[in-house]
Amino acid sequence: MEDGAAEDTNGKDGGREGRQRAKADFRFDDARLCFAFAGTLADRGTGTPFERLARPEDLSRWAVQSACTTAAPPCAEADLDHARHLREAIQRTGRALADAVPPSPADIALVNRAAAEPPSMPELAPDAATVRWHGDSIAAVLSMVARDLIALCASEHRSRVRLCGNPDCGVPFVDTSRAGARRWCSMKTCGALVKKRAYRARLQAPGDGA
Ligand SMILES: [Zn+2]
């Protein structure tokens, strides 16, 4: 719900630090790793996308929050630039899967180059309940993201990729529901937001309500 509130007020009250932070929060709900990464560019369907990877530090933070690594890897502007290119290749490939058309060979080549880097390595604690991820570079993290897309493409779930039904969002997701009727990248964000908008529209529809 906080997500919806934050996104509804975006732009009107952008100077309020708390609300900006909510908007800038990374989203991992219900998302595969590769598409959670695609979601670091929000509001794709609007004329003004919102960049959650605004600075190199943001990418370092995403690396830890995504559980791709345990310690924040150093990140330079060039890493961020590369990461954004990979992200857009993943977004376009997700869209191609959703549309059941062949992805761009250039995008596939970019994904393959990222996946060719050594990924972060897991180390299981003796309690078998805690994992430390050792990835000392952004390249290791991006490799995991690229490998996740490759694993998806090689799986039966490739035919279950859809684009989020919130037209402002447009991030791909994998519909693993039995009925195959999932419509949102996440019920907690886009699903809640669209339902709230529909509810408001119903309230305003009858009579002479504004
Ligand atoms: Zn969405």
Is residue 209 in a domain? Answer: no
| Overall average pLDDT of the 55-72 stretch | 95
Domain total in the chain = 1
210, pLDDT greater than 80 = no
Q: What is the CATH number of the domain that holds 191?
A: 1.10.3300.10
Q: Ligand 1 centre and the CA of 118: distance in Å?
A: 31
Is residue 72 in a domain? Answer: yes
Is residue 89 in a domain? Answer: yes
Q: Ligand 1 centre and the CA of 165: distance in Å?
A: 7
Backbone angles phi, psi at 142, to 5 degrees: -65, -30
Q: Ligand 1 centre and the CA of 183: distance in Å?
A: 9
pLDDT confidence band for 12 (50 / 70 / 90): very low
Highest mean pLDDT among 16-20, 43-47, 145-149: 145-149
Q: Ligand 1 centre and the CA of 206: distance in Å?
A: 29
The per-residue pLDDT for 206 is 67
Measured in whole angstroms, the distance separating CA 36 from the mean position of its chain's CA atoms is 3
Closest to 21 (Cα-Cα) out of 30, 33, 31, 13: 13
| Overall average pLDDT of the 74-101 stretch | 98
Is residue 56 in a domain? Answer: yes
3-class secondary structure, 163: strand
Q: Ligand 1 centre and the CA of 150: distance in Å?
A: 22
121, pLDDT greater than 50 = yes
| Least confidently predicted of 72-76, 84-88, 184-188 | 184-188
Q: Ligand 1 centre and the CA of 171: distance in Å?
A: 6
Answer with the residue of higher pLDDT: 198 or 81.
81
pLDDT confidence band for 103 (50 / 70 / 90): very high
Q: Domain range for residue 124? A: 11-204
What whole-number percentage of the chain has pLDDT above 90? 73
Q: Ligand 1 centre and the CA of 169: distance in Å?
A: 5
Is residue 24 in a domain? Answer: yes
The DSSP bridge partners found for residue 134 are 121
Is residue 75 in a domain? Answer: yes
Q: Ligand 1 centre and the CA of 73: distance in Å?
A: 28
* Mean of per-residue pLDDT scores for the chain: 88
Task: Write b or e for each residue in 133-145: b if 16 or more Cβ atoms lie within 10 A of its Cβ, otherwise e.
Answer: bebebbbbbbbbb
Q: Ligand 1 centre and the CA of 184: distance in Å?
A: 5
* pTM reported for the whole predicted model: 0.84
16, pLDDT greater than 70 = no
